[in-house]
Structure 1
Amino acid sequence: MQGIAHRLNKIQVESLNNAINSTTVVAVLIATIAFAAIFSVPGQYADSPQDISPGVSPGQARIAPKLPFMIFVVFDAISLFISLAVVVVQTSVVVIQRKAKKQMMAIINKLMWLACILISVAFLALSYIVVGEDEKWLANLVTGIGTVIMVSTLATLCYWVIVNRVEASKLRSIRRSSMNSRSQSMSMSYMSDTEILNNEHKKFYAV
């Protein structure tokens, strides 16, 4: 039984390490995209003296006064700094204990969810400027499709997180009841614990 528990713990630690590495790569990609997006806006910038109108400063984005661009700047900046914060934590904090590592991954994953949502909103906001006034239906269509995809994805993830937590709670209850029960024989207890460990081995973990 101890051998099974040791193998299960090793598998979980390896899975968490892989998840941490993957999250770091994704955070770097999101930070790169968010950083590059602010310097490649539609219409570019007012840099030529002949093109600068009164009230416009050199280097200012031509679409700066528009509300969608303001939304884009705010959400894009927040997603950039969230991703950078995740990268700093991932590269600076070394967690050895499995439970603490799962807790850290749970927090980081939620931050990455938020970063993905924010950068999606920034993209949708800027799409209303790109398509122009006459083609707003296209931006509305893209917004609808993106909203359905993101909401369904996050809802599915939340469902599996809840299911995983409920199953983990049930397994802990079974363990406690089997350990406190003195009427069962040692062989039955061993089979019960082995079965629980094998069931855990087959499950995936949602953080």
Structure 2
Amino acid sequence: MHTEGLNNAINSTTVVAVLIATVAFAAIFTVPGQYVEDTSNLPDGHSLGEANIASTTPFIIFFIFDSIALFISLAVVVVQTSVVVIESKAKKQMMAVINKLMWLACVLISVAFLALSFVVVGEEEKWLAIWVTAIGATIMITTLGTMCYWIIQHKIEAANARNIRRSSMNNSKSGSWGIPQLTDTDVLQNECKKMYAI
């Protein structure tokens, strides 16, 4: 069952990576504000086909963060479709790295969206972009903070379980009968109760 869950996570991550790459790619070519199309009426500092908002700071932030999210997602897709991992431990390690990359891609695409929202709403409605940024940042920080908490909690529980097993094995070798022994059933039930955090 553990292997099946890991395989489902791998498949889900691949789909999400493709979706993020698609959105990031499409966003770069559907920039608001149109493009410079008329060669006879070319504004200073612009070239033909350049976005009218290309020189603004929010657009530069959008372009950089969106591009990085695109390439991180594409890298995840390449790894997921090219590397075949058989061993369970190696699969967990690969998923742990890929999940962190997907977290980063989600944060970058969120920042790109928020940066572009400042351009879209304009100077007069800047308060709207500020509210959206506050709401979006709260949601992302809460989500990532909760995930980090689960990962840290999982690592602490795993370390405690290893220590209990070690001490249980050492006590059984030395012949101590005063400490309760951990049976295979206890370990199995403990493992089934936990949610695995990657």
Structure 2 equivalent of residue 202 of structure 1: 193
1:55 aligned partner: 45
Match of 1:8 in 2: none
TM-score (norm 1): 0.90
Aligned to 1:28: 18
- Contact conserved, 1:175 with 1:193, CA < 8 A, in 2? no
Pairwise CA distance, 1:123: 0.3
Q: 1:5 maps to what in 2?
A: none
What is the CA distance between 1:50 and its match in structure 2? 4.3
Which is further off, 192-201 or 107-116?
Answer: 192-201
Indicate whether 1:141 and 2:131 are aligned.
yes
Q: CA RMSD in A?
A: 1.4
Residue deviations 1:93-113, cap 9 Å, x none?
A: 111111111011000000000
Which letter maps to 1:202?
Answer: K
User: For residues 163 and 99 of structure 2, what CA distance do their matches in structure 1 show?
Assistant: 27
SS at match of 1:181: helix
Alignment of 1:193 with 2:184, yes or no, is: yes
What's the secondary structure of 1:101's corresponding residue?
helix
Of 92, 106, 127, the match for 2:117: 127
Structure 1 residue 49: deviation in Å?
Answer: 2.8
Deviation for aligned residue 1:178: 1.8
Percent sequence identity over aligned pairs:
65
TM-score of the two chains, using structure 2 as the length reference: 0.94
User: Shift of residue 47 of structure 1?
Assistant: 1.7
Structure 2 Cα separation of the partners of residues 112 and 128 of structure 1: 25
Give distance in 2, aligned partners of 1:204 and 1:121: 30
Q: Counterparts of 2:34 and 2:2 in 1: how far apart (Å)?
A: 48
Specify which of 85, 88, 101 is matched with residue 95 of structure 1: 85
